[in-house]
Amino acid sequence: MVKTIIIEEHGGAEKFKLVDREVGEPGPGQIRIRHHACGLNFIDVYQRSGLYPMQLPHAMGMEGAGVVEAVGEGVTHLKVGDRAAYASMPPGAYCEARVMPAAQVCPLPDAISFEQGAAMMLKGMTVEYLFHRTTPIAKGDFVLFHAAAGGVGLLACQWAKSEGIRLIGTAGTDEKCQLALEHGAEFCINYRNADWVSTVRELTGGKGVHVVMDAVGKDTFDGSLDCLRPLGMMISFGNASGPVPPFNIGALGPKGSLKITRPTLFTHIADHATCQAMAAHLFEKVVSGAVEITIEQRFPLAQVADAHRALEGRQTTGQTVITVG
CA distances from 125 to 9, 68, 142, 241 (A): 30, 21, 21, 22
Instruction: State how far the Cα of 1 lies from the Cα of 3, in Å rounded to an integer.
Output: 7
- pLDDT score, position 317: 81
8 Å CB contact between 18 and 4: yes
User: Which uninterrupted H or E stretch holds 176?
Assistant: helix 174-182
CA angle at 147 for the pair 144 and 149, rounded to the nearest 5°: 110
- pLDDT score, position 161: 98
Paired strand residues for 260 = 234
Q: How many CB atoms lie within 10 A of CB 127?
A: 27
How do the pLDDT tens digits run along the chain, 325 residues long? 999 999 999 999 999 999 999 999 999 999 999 999 999 998 999 999 998 999 999 999 999 999 999 999 999 999 999 999 999 999 999 999 999 999 999 999 999 999 999 999 999 999 999 999 999 999 999 999 999 998 899 999 999 999 999 999 999 999 999 999 999 999 999 999 999 999 999 999 999 999 999 999 999 999 999 999 999 999 999 988 888 999 999 999 999 999 999 999 999 999 999 999 999 999 999 999 999 999 999 999 999 999 999 999 988 887 899 999 7
**Domains along the sequence of the chain with CATH:** 2-123+266-323 (3.90.180.10), 135-262 (3.40.50.720)
pTM of the entire structure?
A: 0.93
Among residues 172, 107, 164, 123, the alpha carbon closest in space to that of 146 is found at 172
- pLDDT score, position 239: 87
Instruction: State how far the Cα of 96 lies from the Cα of 94, in Å rounded to an integer.
Output: 7
Query: What is the distance in angstroms between the CA of the first residue and the CA of the last residue of the chain?
Result: 14
Instruction: State how far the Cα of 209 lies from the Cα of 88, in Å rounded to an integer.
Output: 32
Give the torsion sign (CA, 101, 106, 110, 114).
Answer: negative
HSE (side-chain half, CA atoms, 13 Å) at 267: 9
Paired strand residues for 95 = 4
- pLDDT score, position 33: 98
